[in-house]
Structure 1
Amino acid sequence: MDIASILGVGLCLVFMILSIVLGAGIGGVKYFVDAPSAMITFGGALMAVLGSRTMPSFINGLKTYPMIFKGTTDDTKTVIKQIIDLSNTARKEGLLALEEAASNIEDPFMKKGVGLIVDGTEPELVKAILEAEIDAMSERHKENYNIWADIAGMGPSWGMIGTLLGLVLMLQNMSDPSSIGPSMAVALITTFYGSALANWICYPAENKLKARSNAEYTMKSIVIEGLLSIQAGENPRVTEEKLKSFLSPANRAAYEAENGSSDGGGE
């Protein structure tokens, strides 16, 4: 589980409820629950976004929200170690020996790249094929996380629409002065709902999904760089140093502590 997302989203809700309770008591919560306001804000925002997309795109985008709560592991150091092992194998036994080594690779992307190399595909074509795949992946991810940016943009707008509707209805019924205050409060709830939808739900989801997409893109870029280095017959030490440049200083130090240097650098 992603503790940061759970704490961030969960504590936002806790703080909102606590602020209401501290200001108006537990009974004050009921003043912030209004079905018509929720319908115009949430329903309007979602349907406006639906109108700008296809149904499959809309549904797939909404399905990505639970992903922000799923934990991920940084496998960059493991991927680099795998590539260096492949580099050592290729240097000692030749590129064709990678076919057997590829049977133990679980990552389909890396396995595909190794297969292209073993088949004797030109380096430029290997790079073009693999880069086309990660570019397509990035576009799919972008379409999914952009839905949250779209909803975030629509939420406050539809909250304002709801507020305007409420004000119009209130002004149509000014005969009872005692109803003006409650009617104004209900009208403003839609603005609250729209802001909460954008800043509590949508922007955190968009930013977390975008960060994970970028991390996966970087990981696959490391694979491409490493496989092309192997195909070019570069020394495993050179390949290792090249791939370690993708790591942060802290992760680079951790990698070196765990693995030391490549052991296949002999001429």
Structure 2
Amino acid sequence: MNPSTLLGMFFGLAIVVAAIGLSAEDPSNFLNLPGLLLVVGGTVAATLVSYPLHEVLRVFRVFGIVLKNERLYAERDINELVEVAKLKFQGQISRADEKLNRIKNPFLRSGMQMVLDGASSEDLITLMQWRISRMRARERAEAQIFRTMATFAPAFGMLGTLLGLINMLSAMDADQFGAIGTNMALALITTLYGILLSNMLFKPIALKLERRTEQRVMLMNMMVEGVLLMQEDRSPAFIRETLGSFLAQSEDELRDGERPSKRASGRRESPRRRPRQASE
């Protein structure tokens, strides 16, 4: 499981519960099932109107990805690429083909298969960059669904507020003073639910998915560079050193300018150009 996601959810929920417990005489007043149903149901309904059904259903799978601690296996991919490149460098094409079938990363496997099949550099770059762009577009669309839900949730909270106020005014006209408190609670609690769902669930998930996508794009660009080096028959040691430098540089960029780790700073800067970035 992803510790930061679980810790953030638990910590946020604990803060809300603690604030309610310390400020309210009866914490159960903050549990309003009609208000929660209005906000959650309205958000889901509006999302279904906005997106195709299969994209909305994919949200549940994406939410599972956020909860688990997904590894990107960059070191494993580098090792597998170098092993195949070594066999190709030595002229053992048949053994390289056998090794290629055991590679787990489909993106890396398809790129190296094109190299062994004699594809040109232009074809390699075109196909692999197209796959990167397609992956980025798909995962950005998944994150956008959560951003859309973050927009809808407060709106339906405000809708609940309007319904509660209308019911409250109707009860005042009919001298039903006992219903005034109930409707007022509905008017306020739905706004609370909408804000909480938007800012503690939907927006953080969208941000996490977008960051995950950028990490994957950087690693895929690193694989493109490695495949091109393999096609140029560069030595396996040079390929390993170059990809290791790219990996360290990518990690530094994802840390937003933090000081590089000891492992990264120990590597020399490769003379090879930076990997080509996927088009938007």
Q: Is the 8 A contact 1:99 1:114 kept in 2?
A: no
Letter of the 2:246 counterpart: S
Which deviates the most, 169-178 or 111-120?
169-178
Whether 1:195 and 2:205 are equivalent positions in the alignment is: no
What is the CA–CA distance in structure 2 between the aligned matches of 1:154 and 1:96, rounded to whole Å?
56
Question: Partner of 2:115 in structure 1?
Answer: 117
Paired residue for 1:265? none
Decide which of 128, 131, 155 is 1:130's aligned counterpart: 128
**Partner in structure 1 of residue 216 of structure 2:** 216
Corresponding residue SS for 2:119: coil
Q: Report the Cα offset of residue 143 of structure 1.
A: 1.9
- Give the corresponding residue for 1:139: 137
Percent identity over paired residues: 26
CA contact (8 A) 2:43 2:156 kept: yes
Secondary structure at 1:155 match in 2: helix
Please provide the CA RMSD for this pair.
2.6
The residue aligned with 1:246 is: 247
Q: 1:85 to 1:212 in 2, by over 3 A?
A: same
Amino acid corresponding to residue 71 of structure 2 in structure 1: T
Does residue 1:33 correspond to 2:31, yes or no? yes
Question: What corresponds to 2:272 in structure 1?
Answer: none
Question: In structure 1, what residue type is equivalent to 2:263?
Answer: A
Structure 1 window deviating more from structure 2 (114-123 vs 138-147): it is 138-147
Quote the Cα distance in structure 1 between the aligned partners of 2:185 and 2:84. 66
Which of structure 1's runs of 4+ aligned residues deviate more than 4 A? Answer: 94-97, 176-179, 249-252, 254-257
Matching residue's letter, 1:103: N
Query: Which of 136, 145, 148 is the equivalent residue of 2:146?
Result: 148
Aligned to 1:86: 84
**Is the contact made by 1:95 and 1:231 (CA closer than 8 Å) also made in structure 2?**
no
Which is worse superposed, 154-163 or 245-254?
245-254
Q: Is the 8 A contact 2:35 2:190 kept in 1?
A: yes
Equivalent residues of 1:90, 1:98 under 8 A apart:
yes
Length-normalised TM-score, structure 2: 0.82
Gaps of 5+ in 2: 253-259, 269-280
Moved more, 73-82 or 56-65: 73-82
Higher relative contact order (CA 8 A, sep 6+): 1
Q: Residue type matched to 1:165 in 2?
A: L
Distance 1:69 1:133, change over 3 A: same
Q: CA deviation at 1:145?
A: 1.9
> For residues 36 and 104 of structure 2, what CA distance do their matches in structure 1 show?
46
**Aligned residue number for residue 9 of structure 2:** 9
| SS of aligned partner of 2:90 | helix
Task: Determine the C-alpha separation between the residues in 2 that align with 1:241 and 1:20.
Answer: 55
Q: TM-score, normalised by structure 1?
A: 0.86
Q: Secondary structure at the match of 1:173?
A: helix
Q: Paired residue for 2:44, among 43, 46, 49?
A: 46
Closer, same or farther in 2 for the Cα pair 1:251/1:108, shift >3 Å?
Answer: farther
- Listed one character per residue, the Cα deviations across residues 66-114 of structure 1 (whole Å, up to 9, x for unaligned) are 2211112242233223333333333232666532331332212211111
Q: What residue identity is the alignment partner of 1:37?
A: G
- After superposition, the C-alpha distances for 1:144-176 in whole angstroms (9 at most, x for unaligned) are 221111100100011011101111111112124
Between the aligned partners of 1:106 and 1:113, the Cα distance in structure 2 is 13
Secondary structure of 1:93 counterpart: coil
1:61 paired residue among 47, 59, 62:
59
Unaligned runs of 5+ in 1: 261-267
Aligned residue for 2:78, secondary structure, equals helix
Match of 1:204 in 2: 204
Contact 2:39 2:153 in 1 (8 A): yes
Q: Which amino acid aligns with 2:247?
A: F
Q: CA deviation at 1:182?
A: 4.2
Say whether residues 1:231 and 2:231 are aligned partners. Answer: yes
> What is the aligned partner in structure 2 of residue 162 from structure 1?
160
